[in-house]
Structure 1
Amino acid sequence: MTGQTFTTKDKDAWLKLYDLTAYVPEYNFVDGLWVGAKLTGGLKLSEKADLNFTPRLYYATARKKLISDFSLTLNYAPRRAGNLWLKGGRLTDDYNGESGESRLYNSAATFLFSRSDVKFYEKSYLALGNRMEIANGLQFSASLEWQRRNSLQNFVSKAPLGGHVEPNVPENANYQFMPVNNLLKSSFELNYTPAQYYRIVKGRKVYEEPLFPTFSLRYERAFPMSSEKYVTSYHRLEFGARQAVDFGMFNRFSWNVNAGLFRNAKQLQFPDLKHFASTRMPLTERSFDTGFFLIDNYRYATADRWAQAHMSWHMPYLLVKQLPFLRKKSFDEALHLHTLVTYKNSPYSELGYSVGFRNVARVGVFAGFDRLKYSTTGISVSLPFPK
């Protein structure tokens, strides 16, 4: 089943049915198999606005619970990329919700190899947000969200193909069992690219490849709820910058830095910590240009201060393409350097080499270092799943 979109004759309304992965999207040791459906309905409100509604409903075969959520999105002011959304539901979420590993790849590893790198908790939520461009190259987004969450245990006792069922416990010294608790938070983010060129395509603003770095500033505030037994409150501030520069065919240098801190943090739960894009899975959906590929998803999650930097240099010839029979092949080679510093932890770095086709498919070998002292080596395959 490949999915299909149906439209009215005037194309002012549409219904999208998704492929097979939308009907059985996940398997994990907490829920078992998700069985259900996802679809999207849309309505053209005017030449400059459209409304999309995406509901999902699944049954968790092991936990014997319904999992559901929805997204209602209004796209407006196309020359300013206006996007107003309302989301809500009750689902099983990754503790590393901001940069976790692919749920699809984790499902495959869990079913085939009894390996579940992603750990889960239950979250009911309702969120409202808006994003738009307030000046050329300057985007502003704001959101308000309520959550009710709690830890979960495994409801699968026997792996499908044999093997050990791993506990649903993140690998981090700061992890504690999370009782039922509520959270109310707001977030604000600015992204700015100086001298951003653009085109107008069918009335919509489309950015060209930027010539200058993109800078970001994000502030998040969790408000104390006095009626709660477990009162989570904090201020979180982070800054980032990123850029990719092309020097010709197969020659590209990219960098990305991010730093931040928590202030006045009280009774943070594990999902509230700053999490990083890290994985030990040999097959990942993530690009080798950002993230860490030899450490657990949750190992360095922090409730204090952090800084990270990522650099990648893609080039047409470096090592293996110096071989005569490979010189005319259409793949490139790349060097990668990733570094992370968190409060009360020693600096961690990874140095890597990869071959592939830009970020479509790559194979890389990485070496990890604690305080510049060698710790481990591993091989990883990057295979982004088509969106």
Structure 2
Amino acid sequence: MRKILSLLIFVLVASSLKGQIFSGRVTDKEGLAVPHASLFISEIKSGISADASGEFSLKIAPGTYSCEISSLGYKRGHISFRTDGENINRVIVLEEMSYELNPVHFSGRGEDRGSAIMRRAIAMAPRYRYQLASYEAENYLKGTMKITSLPVIFKLKSLKDRSKLLMNRLFLVESFSHISYKAPGKYTQTVRAYKSTIPDEISGGDIDLLFKSSIYDPEIMEMVSPLSASAMSYYRFVYQGVTNEAGRVINKILVVPRKGNAKLLAGHLYIADDTWNVTFAELATVQSGMRINIKINYNEVSENVFLPTTYNVGVNIDMMGIVGEGRYFSSVAYKSIKENSASRLPVTLSIPPADSKLTAKEAERISRETEKNLNPVPVQTSLELKKSEPGTTITVDSAAKSRDSLYWLEVRKVPLRGDEVKSYLGADSIKREFKKLEQADSAKAQNGGKGSKPLEQIVFGHKYKLANGLHFSFGGLSKVVGDFNFVDGYQLGQNFALEYSANKNMPLVLKPSVYYSTSRDKLLWDVSLTLRCSPLRNGIFSIQAGAGSKDISSNSSTSRFINSYASFFLGMNPVKFMSEEYVKLSGEIDIANGLRGRLILSAQRRSVLFNGGEKSLFGRAPSSNIPLNIYNPLFDNHGAYTAEASVQYTPRHYYRISEGKKHYVRSKYPTFSINYRGAFSGGDLQLASFSAVETGIRQSVRLNIYSTVNYAVSAGTFLSSQRLWIPDFRHFRASDMIFSEAGFEENFLLLDNYKYSTPGSWAQVMVNYDSEYILLKYLPFMNNPLIGESLHFKSLWLMDRGVHHTEIGYSVGVSGIVKAGVFAGFGGWKFNSAGFRISIPLVNELK
């Protein structure tokens, strides 16, 4: 009853204010609606947008006004009207527009002429970006969204109730804000009114992101702008005609991405001759099943100052079974404008006249020089990246969510449709239902989404709070079988953890685990105590002790997880095990900024292990547990007292301090490293005795928006090797398994794990070129922004044996989830192997 009463009040208020409403409909000559036409009233510097039916409505004070009406494909219309407390209702008819191919200034093909025009627009872009020192404006925004289809998974019982609340329901949001802008790029937004039917549990996203961007910025919504200094490298521009608007010559330019990429835009720009500013933008982008269409109308709000007055954004979603659509309107009314006098001053490198040639390189240089002159970047001497002031500061008026119908009638620039009024009437009940569902799901989040019921805790494990800062957890039944291999058989047991954290940046974690080997009839155990300390220096110290089966390689790329499944199903045992009893002390910390040191001390007793009587699920017997190696080393029971010290240094490594902890961010320099490893026997012939040193360099370099190259080069040698068993050889990350959860970047993929492990000298090079466009991405059905491609080159030299192994390859897939590749191997210059490989890094997240 209260909702019906509110609606009646709204209608009565609207009726009582009829004399102050400027409304009407925009049509073509046939009387058909011109949807989403833009209207600009110059006296109040305000733009409004018509709806899909061409209808518009605006509360306006008494006075005389001139209005400009525009829509793509139509000539701009102009009307004048006067309000004296009476309602003004107009039907505005727009004429269709045709563009002529005018040969003035530019000749040649359409693409040549389009590029010539855009080179001047690109050169001028920084001037328009910094044209204003400040402005004050009011912004009205309305957004709608409706989901029309959901994937089958939403029919599951746990999601069915939620899907019923989402399907075919119109969600609506409106806001009215005061915007204060101060160059460069600082917005202060005061939300004076806000109204939404979207439940609080659903994020509506930053719907103001586009409206705080400029077409003249290098990036728009994290996409390369067609007016950025480097735009000619990413876009083709095709001239499609010229028209005359109020004495200005307007060029229609087709914007075509050189590669169909989610980081680029496509559509049209309308560029004014001589001044080279944008008068209208119609752009679109496709990102992971979401198509976004953007229309921005620019009007002359002050002499030679063209600013966006209306935005019209359409969104269509068809992604992984989710189908929906949305639309956003924004209307801007400028209250005051202050120009930046510097943008009017001539720069050292001026733009040549239209009848002379301007190359793409010159346009880019002029753009960058103008940017530098108008917005000089201060020299940063400190490597600490201070928390910068946000580009937008948002405050919400205390009364924003309680504004009445009278207030909304004053500020609303796009009339409500019938289904939008209905959405508001049903908003409260929808929000209550969503809140109930959220409360029911909150308990599951406490246990990592695995459930909070007793049975779920037993199966998946659970983390219990014992006291403030003290937690206990265990793995549950899912962790009872720790591993399966042909040496231990099944490992049956459990793992636990006890964590104490008086300071969240300095937790102390005790992790014991106990498992029983069914084949060896032996208890396998491990306990570690780890302390993270000195958060501004990223300190980590730990002590670990235990007895169990360990990989003979200390640098294997085949995990026990992959080995376990390969053994159980296929009877393969790529990992070779030894028995090890150990005590280890380790610590690492930042010695200085970018300089990190690590020290590991250990005592180990190692024993040879042999396969037990286990077979695979299908009865296949495994190969020997003794690794194959070109040096044919002997392996018998022995001990080792080892020390390892390493230092790595990244020059001028920028960092940020967040919540009391230091986080490294970037450096344009490579990372250098040196590592020493040695074992000391004191003359005992059953103890290892050796020393080795290795140095390396690695770096990742971003080439452009599509491509990155990363490389790693290392070389080393054993300085002494009096008693050296295979566990202490220099091992290389290698695997000849088809499946792996390790990436392709730092692993040899056509080598046995142990074949080239060496007690001599070595050098290795790994280079990877990652790009969004190499080969298969040029196929339309593969052109998905989530998919990337890579080229790989890896080479290993063993100097003392004259071994030179090289691999080249190509891979494609979704980084961090799954990739597939083909690889070829060479011994020297001779081809010797090839293989197809699948990497599933996502497995690491599911363990």
Structure number having the greater helix percentage: 2
Q: Which residue of 2 aligns with 1:168?
A: 625
Q: Which residue of 2 aligns with 1:243?
A: 699
- CA shift, 1:157, in A, is 4.6
Q: Which residue of 2 aligns with 1:290?
A: 746
Q: Which residue of 2 aligns with 1:303?
A: 759
- CA shift, 1:200, in A, is 1.5
1:4 paired with 2:4, answer no
Alignment partner for residue 355 of structure 1, among 800, 812, 815?
812
8 Å CA contact 2:571, 2:615 repeated in 1: no
Q: Distance in 1 between matches of 2:616 and 2:731?
A: 28
Give 3-state SS (helix, strand or coil) of 1:107's partner: helix
Q: Deviations over 1:141-162 (max 9, x none)?
A: 1121100001111112533321
Q: Which residue of 1 aligns with 2:686?
A: 230
Alignment partner for residue 322 of structure 1, among 750, 772, 778?
778
8 Å CA contact 2:535, 2:661 repeated in 1: yes
- CA shift, 1:129, in A, is 1.5
Alignment partner for residue 595 of structure 2, among 127, 138, 142?
138
Q: Which residue of 2 aligns with 1:268?
A: 724
Q: Distance in 1 between matches of 2:488 and 2:700?
A: 40
1:123 paired with 2:580, answer yes
Q: Which residue of 1 aligns with 2:534?
A: 77
Q: Distance in 2 between matches of 1:258 and 1:19?
A: 42
Matches within 5 A, 1:14-25: 14-18=471-475, 22-25=479-482
Q: Which residue of 1 aligns with 2:112?
A: none
Give 3-state SS (helix, strand or coil) of 1:295's partner: coil
Q: Deviations over 1:202-243 (max 9, x none)?
A: 2111111433211111111110233x3324211110011111
Q: Distance in 2 between matches of 1:109 and 1:21?
A: 19
Give 3-state SS (helix, strand or coil) of 1:238's partner: strand
Give 3-state SS (helix, strand or coil) of 1:49's partner: coil
Q: Which residue of 2 aligns with 1:365?
A: 822
Bigger mean CA offset, 156-165 vs 312-321: 156-165
Structure 1 residues 248 and 361: alpha-carbon distance in aligned structure 2, compared to 1, 3 A threshold: farther
Q: Which amino acid aligns with 2:475?
A: Y
- Give the TM-score taking structure 1 as reference length: 0.95
Alignment partner for residue 795 of structure 2, among 339, 353, 371?
339
Q: Which residue of 2 aligns with 1:183?
A: 640
Q: Deviations over 1:344-387 (max 9, x none)?
A: 04210000000011243110100000011111110111112325
Bigger mean CA offset, 17-26 vs 374-383: 17-26
Unpaired runs of at least 5, structure 2? 1-458
Q: Distance in 2 between matches of 1:152 and 1:224?
A: 23
- CA shift, 1:298, in A, is 0.3
Structure 1 residues 65 and 45: alpha-carbon distance in aligned structure 2, compared to 1, 3 A threshold: same
Q: Distance in 2 between matches of 1:250 and 1:98?
A: 32
Structure 1 residues 138 and 36: alpha-carbon distance in aligned structure 2, compared to 1, 3 A threshold: same
Q: Which residue of 2 aligns with 1:66?
A: 523
Alignment partner for residue 38 of structure 1, among 482, 495, 498?
495
- CA shift, 1:48, in A, is 5.6
Which entry has the higher C-alpha Rg, 1 or 2?
Answer: 2
Structure 1 residues 19 and 47: alpha-carbon distance in aligned structure 2, compared to 1, 3 A threshold: closer
Q: Deviations over 1:149-192 (max 9, x none)?
A: 01111112533321132111101133444222111011111011
Q: Which amino acid aligns with 1:51?
A: L
8 Å CA contact 1:175, 1:270 repeated in 2: no
Give 3-state SS (helix, strand or coil) of 1:105's partner: helix
Unpaired runs of at least 5, structure 1? none
8 Å CA contact 2:471, 2:498 repeated in 1: yes
Bigger mean CA offset, 290-299 vs 21-30: 21-30
Q: Distance in 1 between matches of 2:698 and 2:569?
A: 37
Give 3-state SS (helix, strand or coil) of 2:803's partner: coil
Q: Which residue of 2 aligns with 1:280?
A: 736
- Give the TM-score taking structure 2 as reference length: 0.44
Q: Distance in 2 between matches of 1:158 and 1:291?
A: 29
Bigger mean CA offset, 338-347 vs 270-279: 338-347
Q: Distance in 2 between matches of 1:290 and 1:193?
A: 20
Q: Deviations over 1:273-295 (max 9, x none)?
A: 00000001100121111110011
Q: Deviations over 1:310-352 (max 9, x none)?
A: 0111111111111123224530111000000013042100000
Q: Which residue of 2 aligns with 1:386?
A: 844
- CA shift, 1:3, in A, is 3.8
Give 3-state SS (helix, strand or coil) of 2:626's partner: coil
8 Å CA contact 1:25, 1:35 repeated in 2: yes
Total equivalences in the alignment: 385
8 Å CA contact 1:121, 1:152 repeated in 2: yes
Give 3-state SS (helix, strand or coil) of 2:501's partner: strand
Q: Deviations over 1:108-160 (max 9, x none)?
A: 00000000111010010101111100101111111211000011111125333
Q: Distance in 1 between matches of 2:491 and 2:794?
A: 35
Q: Distance in 1 between matches of 2:801 and 2:478?
A: 41
Structure 1 residues 284 and 224: alpha-carbon distance in aligned structure 2, compared to 1, 3 A threshold: same
8 Å CA contact 1:78, 1:205 repeated in 2: yes
Q: Distance in 1 between matches of 2:470 and 2:819?
A: 39
Q: Which residue of 1 aligns with 2:227?
A: none
Q: Distance in 1 between matches of 2:492 and 2:611?
A: 18
Q: Distance in 2 between matches of 1:60 and 1:24?
A: 10
8 Å CA contact 2:823, 2:835 repeated in 1: yes
Q: Which amino acid aligns with 2:618?
A: L
Q: Which amino acid aligns with 2:623?
A: E
Q: Which residue of 2 aligns with 1:159?
A: 616
8 Å CA contact 2:489, 2:614 repeated in 1: no
Alignment partner for residue 375 of structure 1, among 816, 820, 832?
832
Q: Distance in 1 between matches of 2:655 and 2:476?
A: 33
Q: Distance in 1 between matches of 2:667 and 2:613?
A: 48
Query: RMSD in angstroms over aligned alpha carbons?
Result: 1.7
8 Å CA contact 1:253, 1:314 repeated in 2: yes
- CA shift, 1:5, in A, is 2.2
Q: Which amino acid aligns with 2:836?
A: I
8 Å CA contact 2:482, 2:515 repeated in 1: no
Structure number having the greater strand percentage: 1
Stretches of 4+ aligned residues off by more than 6 angstroms? none
Give 3-state SS (helix, strand or coil) of 1:15's partner: strand
Structure 1 residues 345 and 111: alpha-carbon distance in aligned structure 2, compared to 1, 3 A threshold: farther
Relative contact order: is structure 1 or structure 2 higher (C-alpha 8 Å, sep ≥ 6)?
A: 1
Structure 1 residues 190 and 373: alpha-carbon distance in aligned structure 2, compared to 1, 3 A threshold: same
8 Å CA contact 2:598, 2:646 repeated in 1: yes
Q: Distance in 2 between matches of 1:262 and 1:27?
A: 35
